[in-house]
Structure 1
Amino acid sequence: MTFSTPLKTRAAHLARTALGAVLGLGLAGAVVFQPAQAFAQAAEAAPAAAARVVPRADGAGPALWAIRDADSTIYLFGTVHVLRPTTAWGSARVDAAFAGADDIWFEVSNPDDQAAIIPLVQQHGISPDRPLSSLLTAEELTALNTAAAGAGLTAAQMDIFRPWLAGLTLSVAPMLKAGYDPQSGVEQILKARADEIGIPVHGFETLDKQVGILAGMSEADQLSFLRSTLEAYDDATTELDAMVNAWATGDIVTLEKVSVDEMRAEAPAVYEALLVQRNTDWASQIQKLLAGSGTAFIAVGAAHLVGDDSVQEILADRGVAVTREE
């Protein structure tokens, strides 16, 4: 199928909007790679993962920031929740900051807890009384069926999904064929590393709060998110590759453009829910950490650490200096 340049450009913009969730919501990698059947049955806890060896970045690697006062150091590190195992993002600078931390902070403390995630998705992501077939046009349902095939599903299987869950699932589904894997996501690797060396792990949020971020949006906003995902489905892998490359090389200007700017323009409700509100809350929690002492390493989705509404900008507005480590 051949598209005009304007249509291709719009599809790319929408792909960036949908994929902003990959860099903005820690739960994304855990939820979207679950088979549909998992949302209808109980799950057993998976065994703890062993820490993986991360390929070393050619240059300095992903960006790292620090906040310091007389008795505290807080590192801020942006992550990608779903990666190819071959992505080179290892960095001696990041390794040293991580190893020297007294505490590790993620978006949630248990991003690998499938037994906890699945019941939440059952409760907030399944709606048999409001099936997608009653909310989407025939053309959109055809697009849904085509896109669902990439996740090994059909539109009929996804019919009971609420729009937010369908949109989140299909935002990342194309990455399966492209070799992306949630087990290679940064949080999973750092969590295993922290467990091995005995550093305490904490979370800014709970899993149920993360599910509630998207589940709490209006149905109209959820449908807008799903429609954007369907329209941009074919461009998703290309756009995620661009995001990951920018992140892995520390190119925060490009990362902001491809992960934050499009979301803010195309889906302001998603942008507000995923980024602005949460960044504001996390900035307050970071200020409380700064009031104490010791060293903390904070690893959250990279989209939270770029742009005018980033955690760093909010802290700067409150008089807290954040510097990029060189």
Structure 2
Amino acid sequence: MRLPVPLVLSAILSTAFASAPSVAQVAAAETAPNAADDIRDLAPMVVKGVQPGPGLWKVSRDGHVMWVLGLVAPLPRDMEWRSTEVEQAIAASGAVLQAPMWSVHSDVGVLKGLTLVPAALRARRNPDGAELRDLLPAGLHRRWQLQKDRYLGWELGIERWRPMFAAEKLERKAMERLRLDGKVIGPVIEAATTGAGLEQTPVEIKTTLEAPRELLKQFNRAEIDDVACLSRTVSRLENDVPMLAARANAWAIGDIEALRRLPHDSLRWSCLSELLESDLGRTLGYAGMEARMRDTWLAAAQEALAEHPVSFAMLPMGQVLAEDGYLAALERRGFEVTAPGANEDGSTADATTQPVGAAEEPQAHGRSE
């Protein structure tokens, strides 16, 4: 699920610092490398230059078509997306659905937001001044130190952060160093949508923090297994960096079969789930968020398909490809789903490619007013 930040508390931090509502996933014995050259030696190869990206999935019924783009993150920083197909689809569409998301808002003003800064900073830190070495099992702390030295260097203050916040920063900085932090998709979709005279349609569950200061206090007292989040983050950097690069490369070059073979689990979502399903999350009404977002997107997609001859949507690639994913759910509801390069019967032999913005008659599928 699309989450600009991995944790609900980041919404409070953003409110405090930016004064505006914000949206909300083996013990090491070697010597930790510190130099930038060592990072480059360890980094997997990622594609560069102009790349086509994946094709679009087609969802259709009763002559109406929705083109669906599967999203992958992270993507290569140094690639340029040849996005003509997507731009044509959006130009012919009457609606552009964003990927499903959960957003957190707070109505505090500028002055009140500034007063939350000290409390927000305290929420990021471990209670009672504890450091990560006091909270993590010895083996996990050694592994954390190795990855921290590799990607964060001599950043000592983070040792006093709660594990979930430390994990988020470690992952973000690692992707930057590995050049897997490309902002490839968003600017293209925004420009194409604006060029078509449309606005993107959010598909989100909105929640409002009525008393952010009290929530910060509750968070400091809450029992949340954020050590598990840090453990998963460390394991991903130890074991899954080649997979992340392979997945990013597969998206860039449009290799759908490779994307089918690779996992699409979301580390940030799994970490966020620790908070959502905690006692605090359940008290706030955040439990079951994944199922609620699924239902919200399916309802929005069916409405767009009913109202517009052509529409466009974005989904995490895992939900596009999974046998129990969102597109599979639409198929079970009577819609026809066709993968990129496939005939209507699902086969790929002798497949022909139509102009993406068109169904049977291109002129019949312009944007509905």
- TM-score over 0.5 for the pair: yes
**Equivalenced residues, count:** 269
Q: Is there any run of 5+ residues in structure 1 with no aligned partner, and where? A: 1-23, 46-53, 210-214
In the alignment, what sits opposite 1:181? 181
Task: Work out whether 1:243 is the aligned partner of 2:233.
Answer: no
Deviation at 1:320, TM superposition (A): 2.0
Q: How far apart, CA to CA, are the structure 1 residues paired with 2:256 and 2:176?
A: 26
In the alignment, what sits opposite 2:329? 314
In the alignment, what sits opposite 2:301? 286
Q: Is there any run of 5+ residues in structure 2 with no aligned partner, and where? A: 21-47, 209-218, 278-287, 342-369
- Larger Rg: 1 or 2? 2
Q: How far apart, CA to CA, are the structure 2 residues paired with 1:138 and 1:179?
A: 31
**Alignment-mate amino acid for residue 43 of structure 1:** A
Residues 320 and 159 of structure 1: is their aligned pair in 2 closer, same or farther, counting only changes over 3 Å? farther
Q: How far apart, CA to CA, are the structure 2 residues paired with 1:153 and 1:303?
A: 36
In the alignment, what sits opposite 1:42? 17
**Alignment-mate amino acid for residue 18 of structure 2:** A
* TM-score, normalising length: structure 2: 0.57
Q: How does 1:212-223 map to 2 (within 5 A)?
A: 219-220=224-225, 222-223=226-227
In the alignment, what sits opposite 2:352? none
In the alignment, what sits opposite 1:323? 338
Q: Is the 8 A contact 2:98 2:313 kept in 1?
A: yes
Deviation larger for 101-110 or 239-248: 101-110
In the alignment, what sits opposite 2:312? 297
Secondary structure of residue in 2 paired with 1:286: helix
Residues 316 and 70 of structure 1: is their aligned pair in 2 closer, same or farther, counting only changes over 3 Å? closer
Residues 240 and 153 of structure 1: is their aligned pair in 2 closer, same or farther, counting only changes over 3 Å? farther
Secondary structure of residue in 2 paired with 1:299: strand
In the alignment, what sits opposite 2:79? 87
Q: How far apart, CA to CA, are the structure 2 residues paired with 1:132 and 1:317?
A: 50
Q: How far apart, CA to CA, are the structure 1 residues paired with 2:83 and 2:235?
A: 37
Q: Is the 8 A contact 2:67 2:312 kept in 1?
A: yes
In the alignment, what sits opposite 1:190? 189
Q: How far apart, CA to CA, are the structure 2 residues paired with 1:253 and 1:322?
A: 17
Deviation at 1:158, TM superposition (A): 5.5
Q: Deviations over 1:187-232 (max 9, x none)?
A: 24322442355321121115769xxxxx9xx833x43332122123
In structure 2, which of residues 233, 237, 252 is the aligned counterpart of residue 233 of structure 1?
237
Q: Deviations over 1:78-106 (max 9, x none)?
A: 12344334325424322211222222221
Q: How far apart, CA to CA, are the structure 1 residues paired with 2:155 and 2:169?
A: 12
**Alignment-mate amino acid for residue 224 of structure 2:** E
Identity %: 19
Deviation at 1:311, TM superposition (A): 1.1
Residues 193 and 243 of structure 1: is their aligned pair in 2 closer, same or farther, counting only changes over 3 Å? same
In the alignment, what sits opposite 2:70? 78
In the alignment, what sits opposite 2:261? 257
Task: Work out whether 1:57 is the aligned partner of 2:58.
Answer: no
**Alignment-mate amino acid for residue 57 of structure 1:** Q
Residues 276 and 89 of structure 1: is their aligned pair in 2 closer, same or farther, counting only changes over 3 Å? farther
Q: Deviations over 1:269-324 (max 9, x none)?
A: 78x97966644442232123223224321123222211222211111122222122
